[in-house]
Amino acid sequence: MSDEGPSCPAPFAAYDRVVLAHGGGGRATHQLIETLFRKAFDSDELREAHDGAVLALEGPTAVCTDGFTVRPLFFEGGDIGSLAVHGIVNDLACCGAIAEALTVSFILEEGLPLATLERVARSLGAAARACNARVVAGDTKVVERGRGDGVYIACTGLGRVRARLAPKRIRPGQRVILSGSAGEHGIAVLLARGDVAIGSSVKSDSREISSIVHGLIDADVALSCARDPTRGGVATALCELARTAKVGVRIDEGSVAVSDGVRDACELLGLDPLYVACEGRVLLFVDESDAERALAIVRAFDAQAALIGEVCQDDDALVTAVGPFGGERVLDMLSGEQLPRIC
């Protein structure tokens, strides 16, 4: 064949890294889907090999979508694949819905080892199955080398709504529960980058919180709102909710559990644990009359769950934290990124 003539793509088995042809829609793309993605995400809908999926969902349906660009791809306690599932399933749970179907789009960088991609895909598939959610459709694109960080994932989830949970249902007098300790995910990702070393390891809290939310719904707890404190952590999530509901929130800072590893890292770096991201925790707003019962249910999932505060009447929608010595400070939203690329 002449050097100037067209070249045929190599057989799939000849590739050990992502090449531009994997995103071209031809034979290489087809083989990538068949030998890697379909194996990892097997579902009835994917076996149809169609451009989309036809679903039969009954009753009100919640839809959530999110993008995942975490760096590095793998960290203590998780990876970008399982994180994508947990992020979407948790958002659906906070809408009072049970995840049923997911769509997944991969943006791959040329040169990514296929072994790395397979590891991510298998983790994503396993996390979806653990959450009883099916991957029903997806897409793959490849960008040139140097224009991505290996893998970006965009994920959309659909779920069946079992209870109406929303920020505007929050009312003064309700109590606030945090389902576990704060800040593990953000610090775990930071440590995985190797930029800082502390004397103890920190494992990401990345996990589904659907079991907690639906456990409360099953028990007929007077639950008005749920929110997972991801980017910006507990403080930012509370500020967002207070502004939407037009209420104030007052928390006892000492009641928020913080592990020794997270505390050490935050002290070293000058970070506030209340602003460090979680990926497997949920803030729950419940009527005062049901607060203790709700806490007992949540503690069955995580012994570090705690009642951390209460909702109050406040036209300024301020969130305040009372410190261990009685001092009170105002918590506000972050003005910039405290920890970049943690989800």
Q: What is the pLDDT of residue 6?
A: 41
pLDDT surpasses 70 at 132: yes
Residues 129-149, mean pLDDT to the nearest whole number: 95
Give the CB-side neighbour count of residue 98, counting CA atoms within 13 A: 14
Do the beta carbons of residue 58 and residue 149 sit within 8 Å? Answer: no
% of residues, the chain, pLDDT over 90: 81
Six-digit token string for 138 = 């997806």
Q: Hey, what domains does the chain have and what are their CATH numbers?
A: 12-161 (3.30.1330.10), 167-331 (3.90.650.10)
A 10 A CB-CB count for 313 gives 10
pLDDT band at 56 (very low <50, low <70, confident <90, very high): confident
Q: Does the predicted model carry a pTM greater than 0.85?
A: yes
* Span 211-239, pLDDT tens digits: 999 999 999 999 999 999 999 999 999 99
Do the beta carbons of residue 246 and residue 315 sit within 8 Å? Answer: yes
